[in-house]
Amino acid sequence: MQTTGTHFNYYLICHRKLWLFANDINMEHTSDAVYQGKLIHENSYKQRSERFKEIAIEGIKIDYFDSKNNVVHEIKKSDKKEESHILQVKYYLYVLEQNRINATGLLEYPKLRKTQEVLLTEPDREYIKEAEQEIKNIIQAENCPGRISKPKCKNCSYFDFCYANETEL
């Protein structure tokens, strides 16, 4: 199985979500939050599809890549999970670098009117190598990891799956 940017994102959020997603148990299609994020992505920068390219390479899919300036643009709805968003972009930069493309990243939060530059450092490269192996171990595990029971679970697309037999979080 090819590791993706989404795997890295979910790795920091919840190992259970990572395992479920990687094992084709997808709940995103029922999530209002995911739908809102998709609308923001599609409507925030309409002119981009004319200027920037979509890149798919080694399991990653970058929606907006400025090939003139070698900049990855990643659009997110909210900065609540900013650490996981940053890791996702760093993974994109890592894969591009492995394919001899040196790039930088921009994390963009249109609703917040916030943009953050993302750079790949040597410690990031080491962390990504280690995390990639841990991600593979989680994905290939026979059993689904346990749930984490955090307040952030209430907004997760897998909430109903994880808490089907519970009355309250």
Q: Which two tokens stand for residue 106?
A: 């921009």
150: its two tokens: 């955090």
pTM over 0.85: no
Bigger pLDDT: 93 or 47?
Answer: 93
d(C-alpha 9, C-alpha 47), whole Å:
26
pLDDT at residue 60 greater than cutoff 80: yes
**Domains of the chain, with CATH numbers?**
5-162 (3.90.320.10)
Q: How many CB atoms lie within 10 A of CB 36?
A: 13
Q: Are 89 and 107 in contact (CB under 8 A)?
A: yes
Structure tokens that stand for 75 in this block = 């659009």
Model pLDDT for residues 32-57, shown as the tens digit of each residue: 555 555 555 455 555 555 677 778 89
The rounded mean pLDDT for the chain is 85
Q: How far apart are CA 94 and CA 28, in angstroms?
A: 26
Alpha-carbon gap, residue 87 to 29, rounded angstroms: 24
Neighbours of 24 (CB within 10 A): 6
Highest mean pLDDT among 30-34, 118-122, 165-169: 118-122
Tokens of 103: 């790039």
**For 99-113, how does the pLDDT look when each residue is reduced to its tens digit (9 = 90+)?**
999 999 999 988 888
In angstroms, rounded to a whole number, what is the distance separating the alpha carbons of residues 169 and 153? 8
